[in-house]
Amino acid sequence: MLNKLFDWVDERLDVTPLWADIADHEVPEHVNPAHHFSAFVYCFGGLTFFIVVIQVLSGMFLTMYYVPDIINAWNSVFYLQNEVAFGQIVRGMHHWGASLVIVMMFLHTLRVFFQGAYKKPRELNWIVGVLIFFVMLALGLTGYLLPWDMKALFATKVTIQIIEATPLLGPYLKTLIAGHPEIVGAQTLTRFFAIHVFFLPAALFGLLAAHFIMIRRQGISGPL
């Protein structure tokens, strides 16, 4: 069945050369765990991407039930957690995945740094990777407010106070993010939701595409 579907698509779009280029791409011997135990450190990047995929899919499921306003936000999370089939599992995956993806990105960054993989000709890819790291941190920060419970509310107030302390631009950034110069309320929740669901994922997908293209062009860095 899958072969027939592939043949049908290939006849119209000629995807065989593209698929062959991806599937037949050789992986260097030093990243094969069967040959070198130390090659496991090269798995951190792939594991990070795998968790990102889980975050995206689980997040899509959560947005089907989440209501981004201060009246219904907490109630919608409670309903998802206790009434929706598998809702508790999917939310748990998204919750713990948000922490795990940061840990895996940190390990991946350490591997790249200590093996000197950020040096020429991979300087630009290192910069893109650091930007991805900051985007993931911002995703965790904006998602923290969305349940609209007391812990999330006070944590967001502290975050906004830190942003306000930015020299020169602090008050403007605070108003831009919070939606109000003094109150963390409905505008703040709506903006955090929009940033978390639309703006940051768009930036993440663009940066990931650039990251993978450069890895494919430059190849995987050599061993230490």
Digitized pLDDT (tens) for each residue of the chain, 224 residues in all: 788 888 898 888 888 887 777 777 777 777 766 666 567 888 899 999 999 999 999 999 999 999 999 999 999 999 999 999 999 999 999 999 999 999 999 999 999 999 888 998 899 999 999 999 999 999 999 999 999 999 999 999 998 999 889 998 988 988 888 887 777 889 999 999 999 999 999 999 999 999 999 998 888 877 66
| pTM of full prediction above 0.85 | yes
Q: What is the pLDDT of residue 141?
A: 93
| DSSP tally for the chain: helices H, then strands E | 10, 0
- Spatial CA neighbour of 136 closest among 92, 108, 105: 105
Residues with Cβ < 8 Å from 160, sequence gap 6 or more? 174, 177, 178, 184, 188
Q: What is the pLDDT of residue 37?
A: 58
DSSP label at 66?
Answer: -
- Which CATH code fits 27-218? 1.20.810.10
DSSP label at 84?
Answer: S
- Spatial CA neighbour of 157 closest among 189, 198, 194, 195: 189
**Which amino acid makes up residue 182?**
E
- Rg of the chain over all Cα atoms, to the nearest angstrom: 21
Alpha-carbon gap, residue 90 to 73, rounded angstroms = 17
Q: What is the pLDDT of residue 194?
A: 95
Q: What is the pLDDT of residue 3?
A: 84
Contact assessment for residue 214 and residue 128, using Cβ atoms and an 8 Å cutoff = yes
Alpha-carbon gap, residue 165 to 144, rounded angstroms = 21
